[in-house]
Amino acid sequence: MYKGILHTHYLVVTLFLLIYVIKTILLLSNKNDTLTTFTKKVKVPEMIISALFLITGIYLTTQLPFGGKYDYLFWIKLVMVFASIPIAIIGFKKGNKILAALSLLLITGAFGLAESFHKKKGIAKEAGIVANDGGKSLYEAKCGLCHGADGKLGVSGAKDLSQTQLDAASIKDIILHGKNSMQPIAVSDEEAGTIAEYVQGNLKGH
């Protein structure tokens, strides 16, 4: 689903830009009649493309990782896209070349930012895979040193997690706040929950 929408988004954005570039070139080279004919011809496809652009864009925005914390690049991109729309409308209506060129600059700039943004997101997604293996790699990275991969290592008095009587909520609490000689572990609330579920489901009683 996510991948399909992402590809659709790329496709409609590319088509959108293509129409935009052609229109701007026609305007800049004084081919006003061709511009009028072209604008009329692509009117309906352009409406569909713009709608798909927005719908897929909104969907993808809701699917972002980072727990809802958007990259500042994302906001710049959004502002650029939305700023380019009125500038383009006025530019093409009045035949103002500077405005038309400016709006094209804004939208291609946003496209470039989107690219670097998605590259970053790709990295974040890879990190997400680590977090998506049910907490195993998180557990091993953050707890393995003392408790061992199977929970039984017992370094410097670390309790055997396969023998613990605690439930996931208490384990999460210990991860975040520590217990006696165990210091709090530097993980997010969400990560602590994932690790606790992992301990509960995979180590306890094994």
Among 42, 54, 40, 75, smallest CA distance to 12 is for 54
Find the binding residues for ligand HEC in span 119-178 (CB under 6 A).
142-143, 145-147, 156-159, 161, 164, 166, 171, 174-175
- Return the number of the residue (121 or 147) whose C-beta is nearest ligand HEC: 147
- When binding is defined by CB under 6 A, the residue of 44, 72, 181, 189 that contacts ligand HEC is 181
> Closest approach of Cβ 69 to ligand HEC, in Å?
22
* Rounded least distance, CB 149 to ligand HEC, Å: 12
Count of beta carbons in the 10 Å neighbourhood of residue 129:
9
Tell whether residue 205 is a contact of ligand HEC (CB under 6 A): no
DSSP 131-144: HTSTTHHHHHHHTH
Q: What are φ and ψ of residue 182, in 5° steps?
A: -90, 120
Based on the shown chain and the rule CB under 6 A, indicate whether residue 204 belongs to the binding site for ligand HEC: no
CB of 181 vs ligand HEC, minimal distance in Å: 4
Single-letter code of the amino acid located at 186: A
- Residues across the chain: 206
Positive or negative, the Cα torsion across 21, 24, 28, 31? Answer: positive
Contact residues for ligand HEC (CB under 6 A)?
Answer: 142-143, 145-147, 156-159, 161, 164, 166, 171, 174-175, 179-182, 185, 195, 199
